[in-house]
Chains A and B, each alone.
Chain A
Amino acid sequence: MRCLLVVASLLLGSAWSSMAAEVTVHLSDGQGHAVNDAVVMLTTDAAPATAPVPERPVTHIIDQRNETFIPYVQVLRPGDKVVFRNSDTTRHHVYSFAAIRTFEFVLRPGESSPELSMDKTGIAAVGCNIHDHMIAYLFVSAVPATTMSSHGGDAMLSHLAPGHYTAHVWHPQLHPGHPEPIQKVTIASDADVLHLAFTLSLMPDPRMSMDREHLDY
């Protein structure tokens, strides 16, 4: 996955900035419910004309409310920074043992972590060592055409150059070992607006919000 992200970013970057074509993607589960928090990427095999223009690093806030990380999934560019903010009335011990970045922060109520730079591409699962049911994902991608689905299950990628692409979808609750959901996409002109639909088979949400009945100590 990491190699794919790096190669795709080099290939796609030049075509990114001034084009007008759009691809909209709708994601739903087997019951027809909209799927949010899915990452959608468009990659291409075409050779780049120029190197991609580096974007300014952005700092993303991962909040903790009601013993839940918000957002569940955060897309970052390499070099982006992340800050963990504790808006709960209880302590959290935020950590990750991901291959792309290991870290830990003990955060008192109201406290925020220092900025953490995410330089490598890949996926980092983030947990709380005090509350095991808390989980979030940092998706670090160098692919310019990367976005996330909204609460309506829709994602939009714009400024695309004509060409042949592959649309990739990632979600934390996809079944491990199953083939990655992909679709081939061809953009014929700058004015194209294409619509894709993915039906995802998802595992149950592993997050358990504060539940009086299930204590999870």
Chain B
Amino acid sequence: MRCAWLLCLLGLSSSAACAQDFKLHAWLDGRLVAAPDESSWTHGGLGKTRFGNGGVDVRFGGAGLVGAAQFTPALLALAEVQFQNTDYPSMSVVEAYLRYRPVSLSRWRWSVQAGAFIPPISLENEAIGWTSPWTLTPSAINSWVGEELRAVGAEGHVEWRGDADTWELRSALFRHNDPAGNLLAIRGWSLSDLTYGLGSRLREPDAMVRQDGRQPPGRYDPFQNIGNRNGWYADLSWRAPGRGSVSLMRYDNRADPAAHSDSGVFAWHTYFWTLGATADTGPVTWITQAMDGGTVIEPLHGLQFETHFGSAFLLAGWNRGAWRPTLRIEHFSTRAPHSDPGIAQGEHGNAITAALNWRPREWLRLTAEVLRIDSVRTQRVDAGLPAASAITQIQLGIRLIY
């Protein structure tokens, strides 16, 4: 699979040589990390941060390549590949799509795109490689989006462009995202800047893998088709440059909760609402976002396990030229009815993230970040750990951008 994606990228590159406009962008990220003592979820533990097992070490943050080819004034092809080694060395395709957007000489403009793309949920992750320019670690909501959500399908987009504001409606039909929701049910929320792509595999908690009678490490492909159902999302947004924006989205992967792959990966029927807003008050940018939803599987006929999940955050970034201090607070929870045996678990927690960004050159960003998470998760008791956890992760990051 990995080779197939590489060949796709090479194919795109050679085609792009014929295109009038081809641009290549890249980023490389390194970290100095003081990790919490708990084992990270990326290594099969129940720690909610990207890094764990204590100590102060130099870590590889990631690297990515983005290629964009403007074949005609209306037709754009974009592909992004990423290399990570936090869990295991992997090359994956974060996004790859074609977009057709003809010019419009009226206030209305439409476009369509087809391929693999990230649903337009995050108001934070607006930088190259779907990273956040505000913090190293995105919110719990957008950490999960980067881990498990990807649409393989087609999206339509209509804009109405006013003198002072713009209204946008996006809607997509997609497949290959049926396991989405598994991670929230069996692991809970995380705060991690690992963005998984097509061709990568997510790590399950070792405690859950053993409980299922399997041997760790357990990994699964979150971007696969199980049950042949189409999912959809629709997003309505209002944007007023200089003032702010509001977005409301409904997502439903419409997975068949009784379906499972040959390797035993279940389709999780996952649905949620998300509401987000941004505002500019002088030099301070505010971003807030909330998500509320659920995910269901039916491992035996008539026996359903449902996990409700919710999270919300508020971020304030102070734009001071090359310097940008940022503070974010958030709450997250999952909840399953007590009548559910086995995997029904719940959690609730709060996190605070303080980051100081410095961008002395266009190609360089330096970030210092402190992330503190306080949470309680019932599953931890099953694994012989105290239910409550309080962990702190400190990072110094350097990102080179081409």
- A residues near B (Cβ < 8 Å) are 90-91, 93, 95-97, 102-104, 106, 108, 125, 129-130, 173, 175-177, 203-204, 206, 211-215, 217
Residues of A within 8 A of B105 (CB): 95-97, 102-104
Among residues of A, the one whose C-beta sits closest to the C-beta of B20 is A91
B241 interface residue (CB < 8 Å to A): yes
Whole-angstrom CA separation of A103 from B106 in the bound complex:
11
Q: Of A95, A130, A212, which one neighbours B363 at CB under 8 angstroms?
A: A212
**Interface size range on B against A:** 35 or more
Whole-angstrom CA separation of A175 from B244 in the bound complex:
12
Whole-angstrom CA separation of A96 from B106 in the bound complex:
8
Residues of B within 8 A of A211 (CB): 362
Residues of A within 8 A of B161 (CB): 97
A-B pair number, CB within 8 angstroms: 75
Q: A91-B21, A91-B73, A93-B73 are in contact. Are A217 and B78 (CB under 8 A)?
A: yes
Contact A212 B103 (CB under 8 A): no
Contact A175 B73 (CB under 8 A): no
Contact B128 A217 (CB under 8 A): no
Residues of A within 8 A of B362 (CB): 211-213
Whole-angstrom CA separation of A97 from B401 in the bound complex:
35
Contact B363 A204 (CB under 8 A): no
Residues of A within 8 A of B107 (CB): 97
Among residues of B, the one whose C-beta sits closest to the C-beta of A96 is B105
Q: A211-B362, A212-B401 are in contact. Are A204 and B241 (CB under 8 A)?
A: yes
Q: Of A93, A97, A204, which one neighbours B106 at CB under 8 angstroms?
A: A97
Residues of A within 8 A of B102 (CB): 129
Q: Of A93, A203, A212, which one neighbours B25 at CB under 8 angstroms?
A: A212
Contact A206 B76 (CB under 8 A): no
Contact A106 B401 (CB under 8 A): no
B101 interface residue (CB < 8 Å to A): yes
Residues of A within 8 A of B280 (CB): 203-204
Contact B21 A90 (CB under 8 A): yes
Give B349-369 interface residues, CB cut-off 8 Å to A.
359, 362-363, 365
A93, A175, A212: residue with the most chain B Cβ atoms closer than 10 Å = A212
Whole-angstrom CA separation of A211 from B402 in the bound complex:
10
B133 interface residue (CB < 8 Å to A): yes
Residues of B within 8 A of A176 (CB): 163-164, 240
Contact B70 A130 (CB under 8 A): yes
Interface bits B75-87 vs A (CB < 8 Å: 1, else 0): 0101000000000
Residues of A within 8 A of B163 (CB): 125, 176
Contact A213 B101 (CB under 8 A): no
Question: In the assembled complex, how far is the CB of residue B222 from the closest CB belonging to chain A, in whole angstroms?
Answer: 24
Interface bits B36-58 vs A (CB < 8 Å: 1, else 0): 00000000000000000000000
Contact A206 B70 (CB under 8 A): no
Q: A204-B241, A214-B126 are in contact. Are A95 and B103 (CB under 8 A)?
A: yes
B68 interface residue (CB < 8 Å to A): yes
Whole-angstrom CA separation of A129 from B402 in the bound complex:
24
Contact B20 A203 (CB under 8 A): no
What are 26 contact pairs spanning A and B, CB under 8 A? A90-B23, A95-B103, A95-B105, A97-B106, A97-B107, A104-B105, A108-B20, A129-B74, A129-B102, A130-B21, A173-B242, A175-B243, A176-B240, A203-B243, A203-B280, A206-B241, A212-B362, A212-B363, A212-B402, A213-B128, A213-B133, A214-B128, A215-B66, A215-B68, A217-B68, A217-B99
Interface bits B342-353 vs A (CB < 8 Å: 1, else 0): 000000000000
Question: In the assembled complex, how far is the CB of residue B252 from the closest CB belonging to chain A, in whole angstroms?
Answer: 27
Give B128-168 interface residues, CB cut-off 8 Å to A.
128, 133, 161, 163-164
B104 interface residue (CB < 8 Å to A): yes
A90, A96, A104, A213: residue with the most chain B Cβ atoms closer than 10 Å = A213
Contact B365 A213 (CB under 8 A): yes
Whole-angstrom CA separation of A95 from B133 in the bound complex:
31
B127 interface residue (CB < 8 Å to A): yes
Residues of B within 8 A of A214 (CB): 126-128, 133
Question: In the assembled complex, how far is the CB of residue A69 from the closest CB belonging to chain B, in whole angstroms?
Answer: 16
Contact B101 A129 (CB under 8 A): yes
Whole-angstrom CA separation of A211 from B362 in the bound complex:
7
Whole-angstrom CA separation of A103 from B101 in the bound complex:
17
Whole-angstrom CA separation of A211 from B161 in the bound complex:
24
Give 16 A-B pairs besides A93-B103, A129-B101, A214-B126 with Cβ atoms closer than 8 angstroms.
A91-B73, A93-B73, A97-B161, A130-B76, A175-B243, A203-B280, A204-B241, A212-B128, A212-B362, A212-B363, A213-B128, A213-B133, A213-B401, A214-B133, A215-B25, A217-B68
Question: In the assembled complex, how far is the CB of residue B116 from the closest CB belonging to chain A, in whole angstroms?
Answer: 15
Among residues of A, the one whose C-beta sits closest to the C-beta of B19 is A91
Residues of B within 8 A of A206 (CB): 241-242
Whole-angstrom CA separation of A96 from B105 in the bound complex:
6
The 5 closest A-B pairs by CB, nearest first: A203-B242, A176-B164, A129-B103, A212-B401, A93-B73
Question: In the assembled complex, how far is the CB of residue B166 from the closest CB belonging to chain A, in whole angstroms?
Answer: 10
Whole-angstrom CA separation of A96 from B68 in the bound complex:
25
Whole-angstrom CA separation of A169 from B116 in the bound complex:
47
Q: Of B70, B99, B240, which one neighbours A91 at CB under 8 angstroms?
A: B70
Give B211-240 interface residues, CB cut-off 8 Å to A.
240
Whole-angstrom CA separation of A93 from B105 in the bound complex:
12
Among residues of A, the one whose C-beta sits closest to the C-beta of B22 is A90
Among residues of A, the one whose C-beta sits closest to the C-beta of B365 is A213
Among residues of A, the one whose C-beta sits closest to the C-beta of B359 is A213
Interface bits B100-115 vs A (CB < 8 Å: 1, else 0): 0111111100000000
Q: A108-B20, A204-B242, A213-B133 are in contact. Are A177 and B402 (CB under 8 A)?
A: no
